[in-house]
Structure 1
């Protein structure tokens, strides 16, 4: 009788242990299924920032090597003797050079001046002169248009000098979808590039970047070019990478 009872209790303990072990193994298996596989790659969905897009636009412009340019000023002072109203032409970055027509107010007279800027010199065809004359930008008290195309200090420099960059409106212009990026430029950066402006001031800038290609189609700068009033220069860039040859006449 005692032997039979002892044997029954032993079988009961064995069965209980087996059930507990099975439950423990099952729990461990389920726990393992819930843990992530650390070997799987982690996907990131971080969207490009405005600064990323401006840096991308700088790279695209630099890689293009050549571009066409139209620059137009507005709200310009009428009481100054010398200032640029408009510039239309093409430029290269290696070497920095410009060929086109500059519309300027010179000593109160507005004139369209065919211009070639190359190697620090200006070759200009002034009104009533049949041939080009050679001079320097400082002699005419005008900025060097070739500097706009310098691959380090030209228009490209503005893209990564821009502060407080933010995405603006998105719009369709013809076949292109253009994303605006707004920001500010320190006055010294503007003066270094365009030769005019308040170096201590701040300028508002708006870029129009073409989606997918990220070409900087437009650059609009507003601020104290001729203080105390604010003026605007709007640049339109096109024909990225179209071959251009510019030589002194």
Structure 2
């Protein structure tokens, strides 16, 4: 397997894993926890349930023009290619992604690997050989530009999370000025496979941290994302919501 082919495989498949769940930091959460936000009380019974919080977070993802996302992990497998970090912009309409990934490729650390997905085509800029068009289906991965699709993208994972439990609210965000509420749950494997078909875990453990306005600020997802590898925990953040950016194919 050539270095260029391996770089393309890691960048395409791992990028999707990095975006399986997204989070937002654009809006201030205020002083009250999200479960006291009456706007999220869909059934009007005076109680905001964890399920209603997830439905509200999904709606915010579905309505945004775009997000700026970041990913990192402290886990470093002893062997095998893996994704260490990713940064980029995901646009909803027209669907597009532009960013960079880093990780281990053929036992060698690689960083700042540019990735662009636009007009249904995925491009990876590999060292020496330059930009290469790749087919994400070859890597058990969908087109990352489609990850904001409200029906087949990442937001359905939020509402598919089972056994949701609310944790104790805490201060966070800029200058610890926001009230953040954690929610834990389990994501069924079939839901994750809608995004990453080769995911091997039976289920994935998730912790979502949500501000008082109902925006996710951070997500921790743990599971077997890639065949032949142990479970990995990724921390995913979105540094901004309602992003607008023109993304074009590399020349």
Q: Is the 8 A contact 1:188 1:198 kept in 2?
A: no
Higher Rg of the two aligned structures: 1
Corresponding residue number in structure 2 for 1:198: 200
Tell me which of the two structures has the higher relative contact order, counting C-alpha pairs closer than 8 angstroms and 6 or more residues apart.
2
For residues 193-231 of structure 1, the C-alpha deviation after alignment (integer angstroms, 9 at most, x for no partner) is 2344225x111101111112x111112111233467321
CA positional deviation for 1:58: 0.7
Q: Is the 8 A contact 1:93 1:150 kept in 2?
A: yes
Q: Is the 8 A contact 1:147 1:193 kept in 2?
A: no
Q: Given the superposition, is the C-alpha separation of residues 89 and 118 from structure 1 closer, same or farther in structure 2, using an over 3 Å criterion?
A: same
Equivalence map 1:151-230=2 (5 Å)? 151-173=150-172, 174=174, 175-199=177-201, 201-212=202-213, 214-226=214-226, 229-230=230-231
User: For the aligned residues, what is the CA RMSD?
Assistant: 2.2
Corresponding residue number in structure 2 for 1:242: 243
Q: What TM-score comes out, normalization by structure 1 length? A: 0.73
- How far, CA to CA, are the matches of 2:117 and 2:148 in structure 1? 11
The secondary structure found in structure 2 opposite 1:194 is coil
Q: Is the 8 A contact 1:203 1:221 kept in 2?
A: yes
CA positional deviation for 1:109: 2.3
Q: What TM-score comes out, normalization by structure 2 length? A: 0.72
Number of matched pairs: 202
CA positional deviation for 1:83: 2.9
Pick which of 159-168 and 227-236 moved more.
227-236
- How far, CA to CA, are the matches of 1:147 and 1:235 in structure 2? 18
